[in-house]
Amino acid sequence: MLTEINFDGLIGPSHNYAGLSPGNLAATRNRGATSQPRAAALQGLAKMRHNLRLGLPQGIFMPLPRPDHRWLDSLSTDYPAAPDHLKAQALSASSMWAANAATVSPAPDTADGRCHLTVANLMTMPHRSHEWPDTLAQLRIAFADPAFAVHAPVPAPFGDEGAANHMRLCASHDAPGVEIFVYGVSGGPFPARQHREASAAVARAHRLDPARTLFVQQSEAAIAAGAFHNDVVAVANGRVLLAHQHAFADAPAFYDRLRAIMPDVEIVEVPADRVSLADAIQSYLFNAQLVTLPGGDTAIVLPEEARENAAVWAWLNDHVAGNGPIRQLKVVDVRQSMANGGGPACLRLRVVCDPQRVDPRFLLDEPRIDRLADVVERWWPDAIGPGDLNDAALIDRIRHARHAALDVMGLVELIDR
């Protein structure tokens, strides 16, 4: 009984706007603003509750230890003595964007019939490069069953940023799919974060069928415009690929290859004269959750910013009115995450598997969401400003907040990693 589970990252108590991610326009634009970690985590939990009520299975990943004292120790310093830029990098809550946690290939696609997960190395950005050991530890607990194979990261210097640059198309979630790895070569003033060599290594590790695996180059224009990951300009689910006209370096060739493998694919290309790259990136139209509802409809879970963008909202409503494959529009408020450059799709990792094979502590129902929300209300800081990173009391509160959340989920073994 394979089904798709969305595992959302719980937004951590150290959520702040340090502007650490060049190429992520929202993150750099809001650098130095005051964040609201409590509101951010509650917004994320509300999205999880919203999707659960749509009938979609929901999982969770917990915040990583912050500040990352072990990383600082490897740099021969500690938090009080570290320069401000290392403090910010050690305190980053970016693991909340679970789409970057790993790349996932479900059992129907792999030669050994197991679900394979490769933790992303995230080596391009210093503040994310030290996430993978704690993420890997969490994945190996959640997916310890023999039905899964959890892999260590692709080694440097090949950058891998996980499922944000990976799409899967299929007749149904439990049927063999076409796996699409999107990589960058150049991004104008910004780094291309996903290397083709890393994508190829992941595909080999997952034992994918080369005949049903595509490697596609992201367009330089998209990266230069602020699409630092493919999921900012394209998203796929079931038979439906939704992409901006300028998402790929050679879209016609890609579409031809895709149709040759999967003739019944439904490619929905949003024209640039209806939605510009700038509007797509500002609204995160494509950084949305494209999902199959229990009744069979394809729905898209969008941020409020998509509804507020006139061009984006007009195109979406015209698509639905024109009987396109996306039948329902669902809007959620994740403004705190959006202000740091992550929309609904950034916050989740899709895993197609048998839920009975997953450690149940990582699966959610409404009572468990209620318990987590209570912890967030009691422990998460209300606000973090740029001058607060040197506040010892805040650092202590962040540590206690994470411990309280792990305790309520029964995951105390993660307290010390």
Q: Which amino acid is at 9?
A: G
Task: Return d(Cα 344, Cα 105) in angstroms, integer.
Answer: 21
Beta strands 298-303 and 289-292, pairing class: antiparallel
Distances 230 to 220, 235, 363 between C-alpha atoms, Å: 11, 8, 27
Task: Return d(Cα 141, Cα 362) in angstroms, integer.
Answer: 9
- Find where tokens 């659960």 sit: 52
Angle of helix 366-379 versus helix 392-408 axis, rounded to 10: 160
The percentage of the chain sitting over the pLDDT mark of 90, rounded to a whole number, equals: 98
67: left (phi over 0), alpha (psi -120 to 50) or beta: beta
Distances 228 to 191, 194, 245, 271, 327 between C-alpha atoms, Å: 8, 9, 16, 20, 28
Determine which one of 4, 15, 130, 161 is catalytic: 161
Question: Which range, of 182-186, 267-271, 276-280, 413-417, averages the lowest pLDDT?
Answer: 413-417
- Rg of the chain over all Cα atoms, to the nearest angstrom: 20
pLDDT average, residue stretch 165-180: 97
* Residue (of 212, 211, 246, 251) closest to 232 by Cα position: 246
Determine which one of 131, 170, 246, 346 is catalytic: 346
Eight-class DSSP state of 412: G
Active site residue 166: no
pLDDT of residue 415: 87
Active site residue 170: no
pLDDT of residue 60: 98
pLDDT average, residue stretch 180-200: 95
Eight-class DSSP state of 358: S
- Find where tokens 């979630």 sit: 173
pLDDT of residue 140: 98
- State the average pLDDT for the chain: 97
pLDDT of residue 56: 98
pLDDT higher than 80, residue 222: yes
Q: Which amino acid is at 212?
A: R
Task: Return d(Cα 390, Cα 81) in angstroms, integer.
Answer: 10
pLDDT average, residue stretch 290-302: 97
pLDDT bin (cut points 50, 70, 90) of residue 416 is: confident
For residue 409 the two structure tokens come to 């989920």
pLDDT average, residue stretch 35-40: 98
Domains of the chain, CATH where assigned: 3-414 (3.75.10.20)
Alpha helix (H) residue ranges in 288-385: 304-308, 310-321, 335-338, 366-379
Eight-class DSSP state of 171: S
The percentage of the chain sitting over the pLDDT mark of 70, rounded to a whole number, equals: 100
pLDDT of residue 1: 86
pTM for this predicted structure: 0.97
pLDDT average, residue stretch 233-255: 98
Strand order in the sheet with 166-170: 166-170, 177-183, 213-217
Determine which one of 127, 229, 244, 246 is catalytic: 229
Q: What angle do CA 268, 272, 275 make, to 5 degrees?
A: 85
pLDDT bin (cut points 50, 70, 90) of residue 417 is: low
Eight-class DSSP state of 285: S
Active site residue 4: no
pLDDT average, residue stretch 370-374: 98
44-94, pLDDT tens digit by residue?
999 999 999 999 999 999 999 999 999 999 999 999 999 999 999 999 999
pLDDT higher than 90, residue 379: yes
